[in-house]
Amino acid sequence: MGASDRFERLREQASGETTGSSAPRLLGAVTLAVSILLISPILWLFVHGAGMEPGRIVELVVSETATEVTLNTLVLVAGVTVASLFIGVPLAILTVQTDLPFKRFWTVTSALPLVVPSYIGAFAFVSAFGPRGELADLLAPLGIEQLPTIYGLHGTVLVLTLFTYPYVFLTTRASLLSFDGTVVEAARTLNHTRWEAFKRVTFPQIAPGIAAGALLVALYALSDFGTPAIMRYDVFTRMIYNEQQARNVDAAAVLSMLLLVMAMGILLVESRINASRDGAYVSGGDRRPGEIRLGYWKLPATLFCAAIASLCLVLPVGILTQWLVRSGTRPPGGFSFGISHVANSVGLAAAAAGICLVVALPVAYLSARGTGPLSSLPERLSYIGYAVPGVVIGLALIYLGLQFVPFLYQSVVVLVFAYVVRFLPQAVGATESSILQVDPSYIEAARSLGYAPLSAFRQVVLPLVAPGIAAGAALVFLTTMKELPATLMLRPTGFETIVTYIWLVRGAAYQGQAAVPALILVGVSGLSMLVILRQEGN
Amino acid sequence: MTDTSDDSRSSTPSRRRFVTAGGAAMVTALAGCSSILGNGDDDSVSGSISLADFRGSGPLVSQRESPGGTSIEDLPDLDGELTLYLGGGEGGLYLDLIDLFEQKYDNFTANHRLEPSSDLANAIIQESEADATQADVFMAVDAGSLGAVANAGATAPLPDEALSSVRDSFQDGQGRWVGIAGRARAVPYNTDRLSASDMPSTVQEFPETGALQGAMGWAPTYGAFQSFITAMRLIRGDDETRAWLEAMLDHGVTEYDNEFRVSNSVADGELAAGFANHYYSLRVRSARESAPLELAFTEGDAGALVNVSGVEIVDGTDNADLAANFVRHVLSAEAQEFFATRTFAYPMIPGVAPVGGLPRIDELNPPDIDLTELADVDGTVDLLREAGVL
């Protein structure tokens, strides 16, 4: 794979007799080259677009399909984002600031839905509430003939909300935890009611945290492929996939560009908010504000937490378990799930995590410690991948592969490359934050003791940042395990993973067969929560 | 009530034939010799694979004569690694056949990619243009996709033995693809709610039939249904087809995910009748012998379409001999018995009979259209959208 080859070269050169001053420059140049390679799929998209007739592009952009899908997508993103706020923020406040019983327990259950891949959630919901689903079977004897359909917009919003609101919950929770209670007390002494104190003091302080979570939710809703596909709601990802499968390259490319523009818009808002947060006044007190006593709200509040946990955790796991019990021993129609699916998933995820770990290090180091104006460019570039939905990466790599490297078409190399493009930012983020915590004077000290820059880095910095890097790699591993659209589009023929198997049996309406792989996936994803919670503890 | 067996076949082939169930009534024309074959047990996966493994089990399959045609025992062993693009694959049933071949031949593996037929056809065409073909063999559940690949010049010649064993109407005019299993459009109906005489003999009459008002089901997202509508467009034109779809909607028709569910709902009595491929009703009957379910067939119109699954060799394969041998295996007596008894499809070679009670394929009255022309699915989907069906 190109990126790692270049990195190898970089390491050879670096460990050779390079002088102190040219090493960072070389590192910068190579890192920049790697970053450019990483955004090549997106560049291809625009190159392809530039090669199209302008009239054709306009025709596609203003076509009924495109406008309808744009509207559908915007409504979905807005719906999921708003609904997530209504669940995530109250849960965060309840678990941080009130005397809710079993707070620790509800904290865990509120964060945990994040580990259920949303398409598995969608699966379970269709099975529970769909036509001829479990609920329909339960209600049939009561004479209820027809349930309102779960398919379409409301079903998609429901499922995506239930499995993405933890982003809002976690970011809001983090800002509540780091928030100085003394200012609230001050407001209270000025005769503000609790509500006024919240409105005028608490809310402005935690708003950036809420917004950061909301934007993550928005980005997720925008780029999710599995849920709208299962819920039969026409959004960009589903349409791009269908157009690509039908080999309508132009339509797929134009839709992808529209989707990218929307994703960039969301990212732009996010960077604005982050920037404003950097400048925000953060008082350093760590005194927690007094607990809000729920009084007779205690029961409804507990019921609210329980209801969300039931819908997000008990229901999907219950449905999957039920499938497991019901499905016969022998899979129907040649769909047999085996250890090879698991091995393929793990192998891909390990490769992606390993490469991200290696590539993230110089990118993050330059961004954290670089001095030149371009030093943070690679990091900025790598973040673009974060906003690029899997279907778009898949689409671009299929055509890039066919055009330029036909011998790599449908190879594991291209698939792993896609994962690296998408998930590198997670590794860069985790690595960079741990590098920032290392005092630069350590390196100075090592250099003054005669160490070469690279060995100073190896001897001094690396041991200190290792936990952060490991956490980043673990995140990449777990998100790769779950990744659906790019895996579906780019996998070699005959190479099936846990995820492609789940998709295959779903397509053949043998969803009972998906129970075991889905449970495995949920179990493995559960580990990601450990990573996140450990980070929270740091 | 059950129809009696074959003696009741008059010299003029009856338009409708009961899908009978139960041992005695199932006897086919040449039956009489009781089968010495065991039913293929699913757990006997080891050692030698024989006809019994290919043959299905259950009430529809008992007492069949041995299949005629070329046995796999007379074919060279499959040897090597084959890349197979599998379009549709009948919910994984075709994978069972591939699995049997892999079990029979130690040195044979088939890497497969299972996606909708039209998608894989497009992929093959594109890969072929870029000189990066992956597949050795393309096996698909609809002739339109096979035709699209053939028309793009992305196929390699098929072995003569394969082409000579299948009727001309079920293979490409230039021998670029060949049918391996047939599927007839049919109208499953519930015998508690309707009798055979209630069933119209043309599709056009359905929206005008009072007995069917608000009591029919279809699966418009399903490929076979879309082929049926494509056939209607070819025969009667877009305007009439749109009018028919709208008339059906006005008449009241329930949408389902797939035609197995349609057939199941007919058996449950939720629906009086539905549009579905013939074998779904056989699957229902195989599981529930006493289901009040029968099949009606229309005549000479889109509703009587017989479409085929077929197979072709992809141009640029570096596995031509293995691919050709694989095609011959799919048309062997054992594989055809598999399609007949496990997928309840119409076999393509004369030596193998369809499962009991089905009208023989030459008794059906399909419309006279070139199956390759069924490739225009996009136009059909647009039409279904315009009519408000999708």
Say what the pLDDT of residue A146 is: 61
Q: Which of B354, B363, B294, B365 minimizes the C-alpha distance to B30?
A: B354
Among A330, A335, A493, the residue with its CB nearest the CB of B95 is A335
User: In this complex, do B92 and A333 lie within 8 Å of one another by their Cβ atoms?
Assistant: yes
B13: closest CA of chain A, how far (Å): 34
User: In this complex, do A494 and B134 lie within 8 Å of one another by their Cβ atoms?
Assistant: no
Residue with tokens 């946990």: A309
For β-strands B306-314 and B137-140, DSSP reports them as antiparallel
User: In this complex, do A494 and B113 lie within 8 Å of one another by their Cβ atoms?
Assistant: yes
Say what the pLDDT of residue A18 is: 38
Structure tokens at A30: 């190579």
The tens digit of pLDDT for each residue in A134-185 reads: 776 776 666 665 666 788 899 999 999 999 999 999 889 888 887 777 777 7
Contact B186, B295 (CB under 8 A): yes
Contacts of B83 in chain A (CB under 8 A): 493-494
Q: How far apart are the first and last CA of chain B?
A: 38
- Distance between CA atoms of residues B251 and B214, nearest Å: 6
Confidence of residue B128 (pLDDT cuts 50, 70, 90): very high
- Whether chain B has a CB inside 8 Å of the CB on A494: the answer is yes
User: In this complex, do A493 and B112 lie within 8 Å of one another by their Cβ atoms?
Assistant: yes
Residue of chain B minimizing CA distance to A405? B132
- Distance between CA atoms of residues B9 and B11, nearest Å: 7
Q: What is the mean pLDDT of residues A475-483?
A: 90
A284: three-class secondary structure by DSSP: coil
Residue of chain B minimizing CA distance to A408? B132
pLDDT at B12 over 70: no
Contact B266, B332 (CB under 8 A): no
A508: closest CA of chain B, how far (Å): 5
User: In this complex, do B132 and A407 lie within 8 Å of one another by their Cβ atoms?
Assistant: yes
Contact B175, B166 (CB under 8 A): no
- Whether chain B has a CB inside 8 Å of the CB on A403: the answer is yes
- Supply the mean pLDDT for chain B: 84
Contacts of B125 in chain A (CB under 8 A): 247
- Whether chain B has a CB inside 8 Å of the CB on A326: the answer is no
A247: closest CA of chain B, how far (Å): 6
Among A334, A409, A492, the residue with its CB nearest the CB of B132 is A409
Among B92, B130, B257, the residue with its CB nearest the CB of A332 is B92
User: In this complex, do A246 and B122 lie within 8 Å of one another by their Cβ atoms?
Assistant: yes
- Whether chain B has a CB inside 8 Å of the CB on A504: the answer is yes
- Whether chain B has a CB inside 8 Å of the CB on A271: the answer is no
Which has the minimum average pLDDT: A55-59, A252-256, B20-24?
Answer: B20-24
Contact A424, A356 (CB under 8 A): yes
Confidence of residue A331 (pLDDT cuts 50, 70, 90): low
User: In this complex, do B126 and A247 lie within 8 Å of one another by their Cβ atoms?
Assistant: yes
The tens digit of pLDDT for each residue in A284-312 reads: 445 556 677 888 889 999 999 999 999 99
Confidence of residue B377 (pLDDT cuts 50, 70, 90): confident
B213: three-class secondary structure by DSSP: coil
Say what the pLDDT of residue B42 is: 38
User: In this complex, do B130 and A402 lie within 8 Å of one another by their Cβ atoms?
Assistant: yes
User: In this complex, do A409 and B125 lie within 8 Å of one another by their Cβ atoms?
Assistant: no
A454: closest CA of chain B, how far (Å): 43
The tens digit of pLDDT for each residue in B216-231 reads: 999 998 888 998 999 9
Among B92, B94, B122, the residue with its CB nearest the CB of A510 is B92
- Whether chain B has a CB inside 8 Å of the CB on A510: the answer is yes
Among B110, B119, B132, the residue with its CB nearest the CB of A402 is B132
pTM for the structure as a whole:
0.81
pLDDT at B11 over 50: no
- Whether chain B has a CB inside 8 Å of the CB on A330: the answer is yes
Counted residue by residue, chain B has a size of 390
Give me the long-range contacts of B96-101 (CB less than 8 A, separation at least 24): B96/A333, B96/A334, B96/B338, B96/B342, B97/A334, B97/B54, B97/B330, B97/B335, B97/B338, B97/B339, B98/A334, B99/A334, B100/B49, B100/B53, B100/B54, B100/B338, B101/B326, B101/B329
The tens digit of pLDDT for each residue in A82-131 reads: 999 999 999 999 998 888 999 989 998 998 898 889 999 998 898 888 76
For β-strands B178-190 and B346-347, DSSP reports them as antiparallel
User: In this complex, do B134 and A246 lie within 8 Å of one another by their Cβ atoms?
Assistant: no
Task: Write the CA distances from A396 to A256, A262, A403, A432, B122, integer angstroms.
Answer: 9, 18, 11, 29, 17
- Distance between CA atoms of residues A445 and A429, nearest Å: 26
Strand runs (DSSP E) across A352-440, as ranges?
none
B130: closest CA of chain A, how far (Å): 6
Measured in whole angstroms, how far is the alpha carbon of residue B110 from the centre of its chain?
22
- Supply the mean pLDDT for chain A: 83
A256: closest CA of chain B, how far (Å): 19
Say what the pLDDT of residue A446 is: 83
Interface test with B, best of A238, A247, A414 (most B CBs within 10 A): A247
Confidence of residue B119 (pLDDT cuts 50, 70, 90): confident
**Residues β-bridged to residue B306:** B184
Say what the pLDDT of residue A272 is: 76
pLDDT at B30 over 50: no
Q: What is the mean pLDDT of residues B58-62?
A: 76
User: In this complex, do B96 and A333 lie within 8 Å of one another by their Cβ atoms?
Assistant: yes
The tens digit of pLDDT for each residue in B144-179 reads: 889 889 999 999 999 999 999 998 888 998 999 999
The tens digit of pLDDT for each residue in B249-301 reads: 999 999 987 898 899 999 999 999 999 999 999 988 888 888 999 999 999 99
User: In this complex, do A494 and B378 lie within 8 Å of one another by their Cβ atoms?
Assistant: no
Contacts of B85 in chain A (CB under 8 A): 493
Contacts of A402 in chain B (CB under 8 A): 126-127, 130, 132
The tens digit of pLDDT for each residue in A510-523 reads: 777 888 899 999 88
Say what the pLDDT of residue A144 is: 62
Counted residue by residue, chain A has a size of 538
- Whether chain B has a CB inside 8 Å of the CB on A151: the answer is no
Which has the minimum average pLDDT: A79-83, A269-273, B79-83?
Answer: A269-273
**Residues β-bridged to residue B139:** B86, B311
Measured in whole angstroms, how far is the alpha carbon of residue B224 from the centre of its chain?
9
Say what the pLDDT of residue B9 is: 35
Say what the pLDDT of residue A333 is: 58
Structure tokens at A185: 């007390």
- Whether chain B has a CB inside 8 Å of the CB on A25: the answer is no
